[in-house]
Amino acid sequence: MKTKSDSVSNRLTTWLLTLVRIVIGWHFLYEGIAKIIASDWSSAPYLAGSRWIFAPLFNVMADNAAIVGIVDQINIWGMILIGIGLIFGLLTRWASLGGAVMLLFYFVAYPPVPGYMLGVPAEGSYLWVNRNLIELFALSVFIFISPFSHYSLDRLISRWKDEKARIPVGETAADPGKGIGRRDVLRDLISIPAFGAFAYALYRKRKWDSFEERLLAMDGMDANSGATLLKFNYSTLKDLKGEVPKGFIKYRDKDGNPAEFELSRLLMGGNLIGGWAHARDLIYVSKLVKTYHTDEKVLQTLALGEKCGMNAIISNPQMGRVFQKYRHEFKGKIKFISDCGTNLDFQEGIRMSLAADWDALYCQGEITDRFTNPEWDDPKKRTVEERMELIKKGIDEIRANGKPAGIGAHRIEAIKACVDYGIKPDFWVKTCHNYNYWSAQTNQEWNDNKFDFDPEETVRYMGTLPEPWIAFKVLAAGAIKPEVGLKYAFNNGADFVCLGMYDFQIVDDVNIALGAIEGARERTSRPWIV
C-alpha cells in the first residue's frame, strides 16, 4: 500500500530525472551551437591529439580532410539534435543512445588515465571518471527507464495515445485534457520554458560577444595590451605550412658501428619549459614561466611540437622525470638531448642523463666556457689541462654508451680550445645571433643580454669545422624577432637551430623556420654538413 511519503518521493524522483535530462540536453545543444558560432572549429586537432588505444584510428581520421568534414558535421548536428531531444523529452531513448555513443568516443579519445589526459583543458582533477563518463552513465539510464518516469513530450504523447485508445469508437471526449489531467499536461510541457530559458541565455551570450567584437574593432583598441586580456589569437595546426626537413648527425653505436642520428632542422629548446628564463631585470618572469609550465602544459607543448614536425628537444637532465613521462606514458617519439648541465659537473650530468636514457648528450656551454678559460677561478683549483681532460673523458664516456656526443659553448674561444686540444665531438652546440637589438649596445657590459660574444668570429670559425652545428640562443633569449634570428642562423652556417618556444608560438615559429631554411638552401657561408 502506497503511503503519502512514497507518493512525494516518486514525484521528487520524477522531477529530478526531468531536470537531469534537461541539463544534459542543454549542455549538448550549446556545445553544438557553439561549434557553429566558432566558424573555424574543426575536430582535427582533437582527433590528432588522441594518444590512447584508439589513437591510430583517430590520427588517421585527422589526416583525411574528407573524413574530418564528416566528423565535424556529425558532431555539430548530432549534438544539436540530441540536445533538442533531451530538453523536450522527445524520442528520449534514441537521443540518449546517440548521446551515450558520442560520449563513449570522447572518453576513449581522451581518457582520464594518468599520462593520457592531454591536449584538452581540464576544469578539475580526474582519475578514470570524468564528465564524459558521468554523462554517459546518466544517459544510459534514460535508454532503459520508462518515459513515464520523467516529465516529457514522450510521456505526454504516450498518455494521449492511451487515452485515445480508451474512448469508444464513434464517441469523442468532452474535454480532451480532462482524462490526462491539466497538471500532468503542464508538467510534461516543462521543456518549453526550459528551452525558452536556453534561448534567452544564448541571446544574452551572443549579445555580449557582439559587444566584445565591436569593442575590439574600435580604433586604438589593442586587446593584447590591456590589463585584462580580452582576446588572444594564435596559429593552430591547420595553419602549418609544411614539414620540417631533417638532417643527420653521424656517430658510432655501442658496438662501434657507424650510425646516424636523425634530427629536424628546427629543435625545441628546454629553457622556457624548464623555468630557466633569461629575464634580465624583470624579476617576476622566471616565476611566471615556472607557474605556466606545469607538467601537463610541458607534455602538451611537447606533443604540439612533435605534431609540427620537430623530433627533438635540448634541455637539462633535471627535466628527465617529465620527459620520461612523455615517452612512456604519453608514448611520445621526441628525442631528448641533454646538456649535462648539473652544477658545473659534467660527469654528474652524464650520469643523470644516462640513467634517464637521454638520446644524445653534450657538454653544456657554461661548463665548456669555464673549463677552457685560463682566467676562471675554479673552486676546485684544477688546472686548465685537468679540466680539458674531464671534457674529453666525458665525451668518451658518452660514446662508450652508444650515444652521440657533443660540445656546447657560448664563447668561440671555448670551441677553439677544444679543437686545439684534439677533442672531436659528433656535433657542436654554439650560440649564434647578431647585435641588432637595443640591449646589446656595444658599450654595455654583459648583463644576461649577450650570448654570442663575437658573432663575426662565430660565423667564420664555425664555417671551418666539419661536424654538424646546432645553433642556439638565436633570438638572444627573446630580444630578436624569429624572422630575423632564424634567418641569420641558417644563412650563416647552422645545420640545426634550437629554439625555445611557448606552445602558442610553435606553429608560427615552425612556419618562419621553413621559410628561413628554404631561403638558405643555396647558402655559401658554410655548406650544409649533412
Same domain, 203 and 299: no
Same domain, 198 and 283: no
Same domain, 196 and 339: no
Same domain, 205 and 344: no
Element (H, E) at 86: helix 65-88
- Average pLDDT on 491-520 reads 96
- Is the residue at 327 inside a domain? yes
- Is the residue at 237 inside a domain? no
What is the domain range of residue 113?
Answer: 4-151+190-212
Same domain, 197 and 319: no
DSSP notation for 384-428: HHHHHHHHHHHHHHHHHTT--EEEEESSHHHHHHHHHTT---SEE
Are the C-beta atoms of 191 and 89 separated by less than 8 Å? Answer: yes
- Is the residue at 405 inside a domain? yes
Residue 115, pLDDT > 50, answer: yes
- Is the residue at 135 inside a domain? yes
**pLDDT grade, residue 406 (50/70/90)?**
very high
Q: What pLDDT was estimated at residue 373?
A: 97
Same domain, 194 and 322: no
Give how many domains the chain has, as a whole number: 2
Residue 174, pLDDT > 50, answer: no
Strands (E), 283-426: 312-315, 335-338, 360-363, 405-409
Q: Which three cell numbers, joined as nine digits, stand for 323?
A: 620527459
- Is the residue at 397 inside a domain? yes
- Is the residue at 494 inside a domain? yes
Q: What pLDDT was estimated at residue 6?
A: 64
Nearest-angstrom CA–CA distance, 407 and 428:
5
Q: In 10 A of CB 253, how many CB atoms?
A: 13
Same domain, 289 and 198: no
Same domain, 413 and 326: yes
Residue 171, pLDDT > 70, answer: no
Same domain, 201 and 296: no
Give phi and psi for 127, each to the nearest 5: -140, 95
User: Is pLDDT larger for residue 119 or for residue 446?
Assistant: 446
Residue 9, pLDDT > 60, answer: yes
- Is the residue at 115 inside a domain? yes
Same domain, 208 and 294: no
Same domain, 298 and 404: yes
Same domain, 199 and 297: no
Q: What pLDDT was estimated at residue 179?
A: 53
Q: What pLDDT was estimated at residue 175?
A: 46
Nearest-angstrom CA–CA distance, 469 and 453:
17
Q: What pLDDT was estimated at residue 227?
A: 40
**pLDDT grade, residue 123 (50/70/90)?**
low
- Is the residue at 164 inside a domain? no
- Average pLDDT on 116-138 reads 74
